[in-house]
Amino acid sequence: MLLDLNEDETMLRDGLQKFAQGSLRPKIKPFADEHTFPTELVKEFLALGFMGTAYDPAYGGSGLGTRGAAIVAEQLARVEPGFAAIYLCNSAPMTTIARYGSDEIKRKWLEPLCRGDFIASFGVTETNGGSDVASVKMRAIEDGDSYVLSGAKVFSTNAGTPLHGVSTFVAVTDPELGPRGLSTFVVPVGTPGFTVGKPGRKIGWRIADSVELFLDDCRIPKANMIGNRGDGLKQILTTLSIGRILVAATALGLARKAIDLAKSYGGSRKVGGVPVFNHQGLTFPLADALTNIHAAELMVRNASCLADSDRPFRLETSMTKLFATEMAGEAADIALQIHGGYGAFEEYDVSSLPGEARVLRILEGTSEIQRVVIGRELSA
């Protein structure tokens, strides 16, 4: 069956649950409350090798593909969605390098990322770009054996943290070609001209720093280009499609967390002398949530299998991301409602879930963008 885990996937899940329950759950709340990056917990996670889950064993990965990566995101989100964000935002540049990079680039950057030597960030979105990924303004000008990059990116998660080692950037190399004139580059932290802005406080992903990145005449070797010149847009779209699967898996984990909290609190709460779950006004939404969680899990597994089999998968990832993230918001809302007034207090974990779920409907393409992609099939 689609939901059955093989032996390697079962070992992966069990290892993640051990980390999540043994280290993450008892230690993460102060970091979330203070909106701070949990450096030591991330180091522990990196040392366990989970960052390499999806990638080729020839470069230090575990070879479990997108399906394995989705298991990681779901299990982390079931404890702390922000920790899943650190994982999936590190996966985006790794995916670009793994799918399109030369052997030299993979040896230089994918291998240490799989080992967990450092983490990466993805530089795509710009101030005036948003969902229009083809409207990139950052320039990369060829100069001898180098490219000189100038411009800025926003919402780059993982950048500026103590463990940040490298970023990938999409820039314009051939402006006369429009969207076909984009290329992707690896830029190590510490390169002259590469600076990082300050993180802001967000309603979700509270522990995952998201910042603005600036490149000011930043010179890098030509060998730092990922794949072919002009392939940037294709690379972005594929990487975002895989990222949408991981966002959906994060939403799945968040929804499971919401239901766990609802069951734990609602199981002992009475209203009018009757257990709260005996009231259909709350039981029916929970039944719908459980049904939608099951559907989302099937969609995540299916989209993951399509991505790993090199079959067309962009439509399925948009449907999966749309359904799972909308579903997670509904699950978070009913879980908070079951907590009544206590759900408004930050001491209760459920209070953060609506904000965490709301963020998932925006990043990697908003719900509206997913509907645009899906709607195109109507005229295909």
Residues taking part in catalysis:
364
Tokens of 118: 């450092």
Give the separation between CA 289 and CA 252, rounded to whole angstroms. 11
Residues forming a β-bridge with 245 = none
Residues forming a β-bridge with 185 = 169, 225
Residues forming a β-bridge with 141 = 148
Give the separation between CA 35 and CA 218, rounded to whole angstroms. 30
Give the separation between CA 30 and CA 194, rounded to whole angstroms. 31
Torsion of CA 71, 76, 79, 84, to 10 degrees: -130
Q: Could you count the other beta carbons within 10 Å of the beta carbon of residue 98?
A: 22
**Number of Cα atoms under 13 Å in the Cβ half of residue 61:** 24
Give the separation between CA 77 and CA 181, rounded to whole angstroms. 37
